[in-house]
Amino acid sequence: MFELDKRQNAAFEERGDWMKKSISTSRRILLSSHRNSTGFSLIELVITITVLTIMTMGVMPLVQISVRRQKEQQLREALRQMRSAIDEFHRDSVGMVCTGTGIGQQPPNSNSPPNVYIDGRSKVVLSDCTIFGVDNPDHFPPTLETLIEGVNVVPRGGTGLGGQGLGRSAGDNQSVLDSQLATKKKVYLRAIPIDPMTGKADWEFKSCYDAVDSTSWGGENVFDVRSKSKGKALNGEQYSDW
């Protein structure tokens, strides 16, 4: 009996030791798992920051190039708008007379050369000679503001057929629309564009009488427009040469 009790006590002690070890091991595993789930280690943070830095350094130049290319496109568009307005103004000035009869287009029975080429895109002719100085006989716009403020125009003879004979005698090629349009102003440019390279609506001008390599504007008229930026484009050209 005594030996049996002794064996049972030994078995109970063995079982107790095993349970204590199991509880201790489980507690260590749980504590270790809890520590690992609380956040990143220092090495992991350093690696993450390094990778993000490398990615940012690779992306930023691409973003800068994209922004610069967009500005260059805006500059080309602004130059195109102003040059198109200058050309249209000059087309509408062909055939106007600022001597003899005063203002308006060339009289049909005049002794001037009849072979003046009239661009088919021009439907009107300038009727205000006061905007041109004696040093601007080629009739390019004197300033960009002239294109914005507008100029008095009349219908170009022989180009517009609409409204002929309305309220007039038979065979009269004039139109009541002619007298209506004679009091109108034609605007060639909505506003002076902003140079995206300088951030200002300030441009370099060239007169048709300026030398090709001239660095200053003669002031007679506005024949061409250039950017004042001294920077270089992505293709290596100077913005001021566009």
132 and 207 co-located in one domain: yes
Residue 12 maps to a domain: yes
Residue 76 maps to a domain: yes
Residue 162 maps to a domain: yes
Give the up-direction half-sphere exposure of residue 156: CA atoms within 13 A in the CB hemisphere. Answer: 17
Residue 44 maps to a domain: no
Task: Indicate whether 145 pLDDT > 50.
Answer: yes
Closest alpha carbon to 139 in 123, 126, 154: 126
Structural domain total, the chain: 2
Q: In this structure, are residues 234 and 65 in contact, taking their beta carbons and an 8 Å threshold?
A: yes
What is the residue range of 101's domain? 49-241
Mean pLDDT score of the chain, rounded to an integer?
Answer: 77
| Residues 24-70: tens digit of each pLDDT | 555 555 445 545 555 668 888 888 888 888 877 777 777 788 899 99
* 198 Cβ neighbours under 8 A, 6+ residues apart: 227, 228, 229
66 and 158 co-located in one domain: yes
80 and 142 co-located in one domain: yes
Tokens, residue 70: 């967009």
Residue 224 maps to a domain: yes
Residue 189 maps to a domain: yes
234-239 CB contacts, 8 Å cutoff, 24+ apart: 234/65, 234/68, 234/69, 234/72, 239/72, 239/75, 239/197
208 and 136 co-located in one domain: yes
b/e per residue 154-173 (b: at least 16 CB within 10 A)? bbbbeeeeebeeeeeeeeee
What pLDDT is stored for residue 202 in this prediction? 94
Residue 6 maps to a domain: yes
164 and 192 co-located in one domain: yes
CA angle 209, 193, 221 (to 5 degrees): 15
141 and 34 co-located in one domain: no
Residue 137 maps to a domain: yes
The answer to whether the predicted template modeling score (pTM) of the entire model surpasses 0.85 is: no
Measured from the Cβ of residue 98, the count of other Cβ atoms closer than 10 Å reads: 16
63 and 175 co-located in one domain: yes
Residue 234 one-letter amino acid: L
129 and 213 co-located in one domain: yes
Q: For residues 96 and 9, what is the distance between their CA atoms, to the nearest angstrom?
A: 129
Residue 110 one-letter amino acid: S
Tell me, what DSSP letter sits at residue 193? Answer: P
Measured from the Cβ of residue 196, the count of other Cβ atoms closer than 10 Å reads: 20
What pLDDT is stored for residue 29 in this prediction? 52
| Residues 113-138: tens digit of each pLDDT | 457 788 889 999 999 889 998 999 99
Query: Which element (helix H / strand E) includes 74?
Result: helix 42-93
